[in-house]
Structure formats: structure tokens, C-alpha cells
Amino acid sequence: MKLLYFAWLRERIGKNAEEIELPSGVATVADLVAFLASRGEEYAHAFQNPGAVRAAIDRAHVKADAPIAGAHEIAFFPPMTGG
Amino acid sequence: MQANIALQREPFDAAAEVAALTRGRTDIGAVVTFTGICRGEENGAPITALTLEHYPEMAQAEIARQVEAAQGRWALLGVRIIHRFGRITPGEEIVLVVTASSHRHDAFAAAEFLMDYLKTRAPFWKEVEQEGRRSWVAAKESDESAAARWVARAAE
């Protein structure tokens, strides 16, 4: 599964993309956030406030309880500030 | 109706975009143009520049979904959206929304709807350079409530 990070999440994690193997038991976006936050200091820092993080599965917005089975690309980013 | 969405680094010419949208057409009776411009100050302090980061593939898809939603609510005859990314200095334009319809109400409402959704749903993030420091612009609660009121209106 491909993960993408944008804005300050990208800066805190130190990369804009990576491929990961999903461990069993990671079923939703919230599960994935908790798993990622356990991968090291930079991830813990990026995901320290899960409420400040938005997610998209295969380029569409999703909520934290969205299932991630079958996803190809999951992106994490702060609330958007375009326009 | 073909929606025409561009994500680009380069500046745009709003007047030329309106001319292209309306050329040769006599069904269009109203065109609304919104241009978002980079201000020279943020939170009371002068800014040097904004840098917009974006998620290109999703931005294209998400804006197309927003245009489709707008078409479902109003009788639109044309839509043109341009959103810039990269470094933008004060006075430069950032975003363009042009809507065309037979009568003004549809074009006005759709342009405002599209801007409210671009602000809160299109995957762009602004970083501001101020006094030699860079920081990420925080999302505004007022932008969230501006977008949310369209949901309330749809439910009425």
C-alpha cells in the first residue's frame, strides 16, 4: 500500500511517500494512524493529534472510521488551506 | 457541460478565460468571475510570499466532484477553474472560478459554492514566508462554516 504525506505531516515524517505492508488488525484509517504513530519519534510527532489530520483513500476524502481494505493509495494531510 | 479545471504554476489572465468561455455563445446571459489574490499581510504582519503545496491527482478529482455537485444544484452553462501552486508573491492571483449560466442567480450561487468548497476540500496547503520565517497557514473555522452552510441549504 502506498502512503502519501503533505505539508507539515510530510515535514515531520521526513518523506513525502512510502510503501508499507499492512500488519493484521489494521482495518480502518484510525487503526492505520495508531500503527504509524508507533513507528518512531517522527511519526509520533506527526500523528500526535489525530484530530488535526485528514485522510484520503484513493484520492477521495474519508473519515477516521473508513475501512482501508483494498486501498491502493492513502494520503494524510492537515486541514486544507487552498483557494 | 464540460468543466475545465487547470492546476498550474503559471499566472492566468481572468479576462482571457472569460472570453474563451463565452466566445461564440448566445445562450449565456450571466458570467461570474472570482479571483483570489495573495494579500501582502497575514495576521497583521507583512508577508514575503505564499507557497502552495498540493496533491495533484486528488486536487483534479476533488475539484471535478465539486463541479459535478454544483451542476446538480444550479443550471450552469460553463465552469472554468484555475488553481495555482508553487511560490506566489503579494498582488499575484492564486485562484480563478468562472461560472456561466442563463440567469445571474445560478452563476452567483455556484461560484460562491465552488469557492467555499475549494477552500475546505481541495487538497492545497499554504505556507507563508514572514520576516524570513516559514510557517503553515492554519485552516479557518469561518471557512469550514461557510462550506457547511451549503449542506444545510441543500437539506432545506
pLDDT 10s digits, B30-87: 999 999 999 999 888 999 999 999 999 999 999 999 999 999 999 999 999 999 999 9
Does the pLDDT of residue B20 top 80, yes or no?
yes
Report chain A residues whose CB lies below 8 A from the CB of B8. Answer: none
Determine the Cα–Cα distance for residues B132 and A57; give it in Å rounded to an integer.
36
CATH number of the domain that residue A53 is part of: 3.10.20.30
B119 and A59 within 8 Å at the Cβ level: the answer is no
Q: How confident is the model at residue B2 (pLDDT cuts 50, 70, 90)?
A: low
* ipTM > 0.85, yes or no: yes
Give the CA count within 13 Å in the CB-facing half-sphere of B155: 5
Does the pLDDT of residue B3 top 80, yes or no?
no
Does the pLDDT of residue B152 top 90, yes or no?
no
Rounded to a whole number of angstroms, the distance from the CA of A60 to the nearest CA of chain B is: 7
So where are chain B's domains?
3-155
Domain that holds residue A13: 2-77
Does the pLDDT of residue B1 top 80, yes or no?
no
Helices B56-73 and B104-121 pack at an angle, to 10 degrees, of 150
Does residue B88 contact residue A77 with C-beta atoms inside 8 Å? Answer: no
Provide the 10 A C-beta neighbour count for residue B82. 22
Query: What is the value of pTM for the model shown?
Result: 0.94
Superfamily name and number for B3-155: Molybdopterin biosynthesis MoaE subunit (3.90.1170.40)
Per-residue confidence (pLDDT) for residue B60, from 0 to 100: 97
Does a structural domain hold residue A83? no
The pairs formed by B56-60 with CB atoms below 8 angstroms and a separation of 24 or more are: B56/B7, B57/A59, B58/A56, B58/A59, B58/A60, B58/A75, B58/B123, B59/B7, B59/B83, B59/B122, B59/B123, B59/B124, B60/B5, B60/B7
Determine the Cα–Cα distance for residues B62 and B123; give it in Å rounded to an integer.
8
Percent of the residues in chain B that have a pLDDT greater than 90, as a whole number:
83
- The whole-chain average pLDDT of chain B stands at 94
Q: For CA atoms B1, B78, B118, B14, give the dihedral sign.
A: positive
Blockwise average pLDDT, block size 10, chain A, 83 residues: 98 98 94 96 96 96 96 97 93
Provide the 10 A C-beta neighbour count for residue B66. 22
Kindly give, in sequence order, each residue whose CB lies less than 8 Å from that of residue A70, ignoring residues fewer than 6 positions away: none
Mean pLDDT of B115-129: 96
A60 and B138 within 8 Å at the Cβ level: the answer is no
Number of domains chain A is built from: 1
Report chain B residues whose CB lies below 8 A from the CB of A71. Answer: none
Per-residue confidence (pLDDT) for residue B12, from 0 to 100: 97
Does residue A7 contact residue A79 with C-beta atoms inside 8 Å? Answer: no
More confident residue, B1 or B144: B144
Report chain A residues whose CB lies below 8 A from the CB of B62. Answer: 59-61
Determine the Cα–Cα distance for residues A6 and B9; give it in Å rounded to an integer.
18
Flag whether residue A52 sits within 8 Å of chain B, measured between CB atoms: no
